Chain A
């Protein structure tokens, strides 16, 4: 078998990078499944637009994992794995979530790619979260025919999720990453190597 582009990209990854990515993704995937139940229950109360305020949490995995691992492809891989976990543990959103995970991961990956996978400061994390949201919106736009809605509602569906992405994915991703680094569990991973230097 010839080496694929994915395989070449993987050469800079250690086994530990891979397993840690997978563990974070699976842990968050589990959490997402529980969260999806909550999401289903809250939608009738908050409404279709209001519930978008909860959407940012789904973009967390695509921000937190690359913040820790800092290798090209982490956002995409982690986001996809978390969605795959959701499918396999029986999330209500299932196959829909798998493709959504892939699309959201692509959005986040784009943000890190713009900075050549070198910059993991808060503004970049926030950009990753926002692009996840925008990409997810495009996906939903086709899946749920947002085109049939009145234009102000369409804009609402896009805009309402953005503050949520900033807080529940961008800011929370940084907070969680830093908190994990303080426990010492991330020693030897990329996040600790850079934060040690003042």
Chain B
């Protein structure tokens, strides 16, 4: 297997992009990544696009070909593949793109993620989120996506004494980070008190514990590491790309306060990269709900099980803390256009490891990690990168 590097990265702004279509944002992100890499369209061998539900959000399937077409790549007839793993679709596109370059099959590949969520009303979008869990035996019985994370939060609070204040701190920290991220949906501070005073969505989760519905797209350009220096002085190397699955239903899990898919994927990733959790400088983790970040930082091995809330409360996950978690603002403040998120995380880590993250730069960041899950953790995908 060959080593793989990221040589270009780009993203649209995330948010309610009413004036822009699915095609507009897909092409905008792709062109930014290609421009950043300084390669020409003729050099691209293949495209992988992560997207959860264009069929229901914009009534359009076959979006692999659509994106390649509107990106101006039709004349080259490159293979263009759409992949889906619910909210982890973006990281899945990256995983498959990495495998295709590592195997030697392709030399230059684009991994993109896109979701256009605001062309349907928010009730439909909320219902679509529930198609990432077990429709037949969770959603039909009344489960919404936040109601399942709320049950994880309840169990974590009762077993480990995690508090609503600690969960609110996740949202406050991520919003503070996003102030310095020009691509984030919400670039303003919110206090932990504001989170606690926002309406309950599913007890104990409040509205401001939840990530938002948004439009957005992001893309990275990958190539074989030995070719990377011809395009950039600061390639970012993909040291590990690991994917794991678990039961689709939350109630069938071994433990509702842990995500085994995250534990398995991260163990495999650390093993591949020959790195320990303590060697990670910066991580973009899947904070679709505040409790999800607390579970993630435990399951990824950054903190002991049950201590994620305490660590958050103590500021250990802030930029400048023991490990910087979600310097971009995370899903909470960047917005969560489902299929785009996994790639947006990789774009952020690329900028962090290049030292180009401006006021949200994590000092001396050399090793970064991304963590993207689908549904309540039926899929987890972990990537590790180095400068």
Say if A and B assemble together.
no
* A interface list, Cβ under 8 A from B: none
* B interface list, Cβ under 8 A from A: none
